[in-house]
């Protein structure tokens, strides 16, 4: 884990932080508040410049006002004039477009001027806060202008937002295109889920406690459930979402990040290369299904009209920019197997969906039952299930569910919870989840970022599902899609997926 997470705070090198897509929603809602939080905790370098790049006309002062307005609206902690001034004292704006001849030459000249004025030492982070279609053109233009070439005195790094590809082939093409221009160590593939404290602490829980690692295997674990449930509907993102769907949007990135941390082998060393190699190995070991097996081991559904948190929600197919006969899923559940010695025979059940009744992200590890023969002549019919639950959002916690004897003369066993909540022990200020990741990029720590092989392994694992579903769409169209009322736990078909194995989902509520 980064020094940021351990309370050690080495100052990053001087640098220039260049945001492509500087006028967009990501800059406004997440990047600007995250940079402010780093400034407030003295984790920005003393020599720091922020350069916005977009296609529209804007002045330096106008961009500075845009950033300050974003802070007023989206800050996660109280603002001070001193910290605002520190963050915004070296702000500038450049109009540039990779399709516009000469504009990246002007950007290069501007950055060299900033280096000379602010003293950034030639160190630069290029943050691609743009739609995916802009990734390759921007990096290509940066390469042609000589702006990503490193030397002993300065470094150049590129942060790429998700989605990283649309399927296996597009991910391979994108990796190949970027690696023609950049070294792997220069590419920081962002998944903001890895900025969450509970996600980072999965490794601490496993490898820093002799209590858990001896039982973290097929001999003691019955199955694993990974849930990312959202109450939000598609809203105005219909055009994007109808071309993407729940699987592409969530599984190869967020859910697989959780899966790889839970299932990885202990890394040989606690550094970025060893940890990322261990995570990639897990994804590469996910069993490959035939099309028939993929259909049998997955459920996809779209929400119908319903009520979420007291608010009426229309059906997905009635949302703006969604095709009336859409066969895009807003919910997916699947069963995966990992072909390693540690996990042979242990199913991993994944589910994610929109417009559900509760917002919840968690990993639940179900341990095997203790032998109950000793209780044969007692009223005990069944012991409570032993679950270790890692709550990720909105309530960050670790919970252990185990059995105890209830007070009284009769033998009555009850399940109880022992819960650790981060808020009870740590006075952590609210954050966007991007602070750790931006800081790690500044310090050159790639542990919490995805490597090319892991990205491709993730897409390879879901590729059988995408192919099988596409084939079913051609035959049956939207008829093959299950449905669920908005505001519920999801489709009944998802319950049958896990119940046929004699198991059940943990309730969302």
- Residues annotated in the binding site, as ranges? 55, 162, 192, 196, 230, 249, 354
Q: Is residue 254 annotated as part of the catalytic site, yes or no? A: yes
Which burial class, exposed, middle or buried, applies to 46 when counting CB atoms under 10 A from its CB (0-12, 13-18, 19+)? exposed
Tokens of 231: 């109450």
Backbone angles phi, psi at 332, to 5 degrees: -145, 140
| Angle of helix 272-284 versus helix 256-263 axis, rounded to 10 | 100
End-to-end CA distance of the chain: 32
CB 319 within 8 A of CB 497: no
In angstroms, what CA-CA distances link 97 with 11, 12, 53, 59, 142?
A: 33, 29, 9, 16, 11
8 — alpha (psi -120 to 50), left (phi > 0) or beta? Answer: beta
Instruction: Please say whether the dihedral angle defined by the alpha carbons of residues 475, 478, 479 and 482, taken in this order, is positive or negative.
Output: positive
Annotated binding site for NADP(+): 55, 162
Q: What does the alpha-carbon distance between residue 79 and residue 92 come to, in Å, rounded to a whole number?
A: 21
- Cα 293 versus chain centre, distance: 27
- Alpha carbon distance 330, 308 (integer Å): 15
- Compute the distance between CA of residue 311 and CA of residue 118 in angstroms, rounded to an integer: 50
Both tokens of residue 174?
A: 């994108």
Phi–psi pair at 54, nearest 5 degrees:
-155, 180
- 395 Cβ contact partners less than 8 Å away, ≥ 6 residues apart: 421
Please give the full DSSP string across 460-475, using - where no structure is assigned: HHHHHHHHHHHHHHHH
Catalytic member of 9, 166, 223, 254 = 254
DSSP H stretches of helix in 28-147? 32-40, 60-74, 81-88, 103-118, 135-144
Please check whether residue 399 is in contact with residue 385, taking contact to mean a CB–CB distance below 8 angstroms: no
How far apart CA 32 and CA 16 sit, in angstroms, is 14
CA 251 to mean position of chain CA atoms: 9
3-state helix, strand, coil in the chain (%, to 5): 40, 20, 40
Structure-token match 């950034």, residue found:
120
Count each helix (H run) and each strand (E run) in the chain, helices first: 18, 17
Q: What token pair was written down for 354?
A: 């929109």
Active site residues: 254
């Amino acid at each position: 884990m980064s020094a940021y997470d351990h309370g050690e705070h080495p100052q990053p090198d001087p640098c220039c932080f260049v945001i492509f897509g500087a006028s967009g929603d990501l800059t406004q809602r997440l990047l600007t508040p995250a940079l402010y939080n780093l400034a407030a905790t003295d984790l920005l370098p003393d020599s720091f410049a922020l350069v916005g790049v977009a296609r529209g006309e804007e002045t330096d002062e106008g961009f500075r006002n845009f950033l300050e307005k974003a802070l007023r609206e989206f800050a996660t902690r109280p603002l001070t004039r001193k910290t605002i001034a520190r963050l915004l004292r070296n702000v500038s704006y450049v109009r540039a477009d990779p399709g516009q001849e000469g504009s990246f030459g002007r950007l290069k000249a501007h950055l060299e001027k900033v280096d000379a004025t602010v003293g950034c030492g030639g160190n630069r982070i290029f943050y691609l806060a743009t739609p995916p279609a802009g990734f390759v053109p921007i990096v290509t233009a940066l390469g042609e202008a000589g702006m990503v070439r490193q030397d002993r005195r300065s470094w150049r790094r590129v942060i790429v937002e998700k989605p990283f590809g649309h399927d296996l082939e597009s991910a391979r093409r994108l990796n190949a295109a970027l690696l023609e221009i950049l070294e792997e160590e220069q590419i920081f593939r962002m998944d903001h889920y890895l900025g969450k404290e509970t996600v980072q602490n999965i490794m601490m829980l496993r490898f820093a406690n002799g209590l858990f690692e001896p039982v973290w295997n097929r001999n003691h674990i019955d199955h694993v459930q990974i849930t990312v449930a959202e109450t939000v509907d598609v809203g105005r993102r219909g055009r994007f979402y109808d071309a993407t769907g729940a699987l592409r949007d969530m599984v190869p990135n967020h859910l697989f990040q959780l899966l790889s941390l839970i299932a990885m082998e202990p890394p040989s060393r606690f550094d970025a290369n060893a940890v990322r190699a261990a995570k990639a190995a897990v994804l590469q070991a996910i069993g490959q299904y035939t099309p028939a097996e993929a259909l049998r081991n997955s459920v996809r559904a779209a929400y119908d009209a319903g009520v979420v948190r007291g608010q009426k929600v229309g059906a997905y197919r009635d949302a703006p920019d969604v095709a009336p006969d859409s066969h895009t899923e807003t919910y997916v559940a699947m069963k995966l197997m990992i072909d390693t010695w540690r996990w042979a025979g242990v199913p991993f059940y994944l589910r994610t969906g929109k417009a559900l009744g509760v917002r919840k992200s968690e990993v639940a590890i179900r341990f095997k039952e203790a032998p109950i023969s000793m209780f044969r002549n007692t009223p005990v019919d069944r012991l409570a299930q032993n679950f270790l639950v890692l709550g990720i959002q909105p309530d960050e916690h670790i919970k252990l569910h185990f059995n105890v004897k209830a007070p009284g003369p009769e033998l009555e066993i009850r399940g109880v919870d022992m819960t650790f909540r981060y808020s009870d022990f740590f006075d952590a200020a609210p954050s966007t989840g991007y602070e750790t990741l931006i800081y790690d990029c500044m310090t050159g720590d790639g542990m919490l970022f995805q490597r090319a092989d892991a990205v491709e392994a993730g897409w390879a694992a879901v590729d059988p599902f995408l192919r099988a579903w596409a084939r079913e769409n051609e035959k049956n169209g939207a008829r093959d899609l299950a449905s669920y009322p908005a505001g519920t736990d999801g489709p009944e078909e998802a319950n049958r997926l896990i119940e046929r194995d004699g198991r059940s989902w943990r309730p969302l509520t």
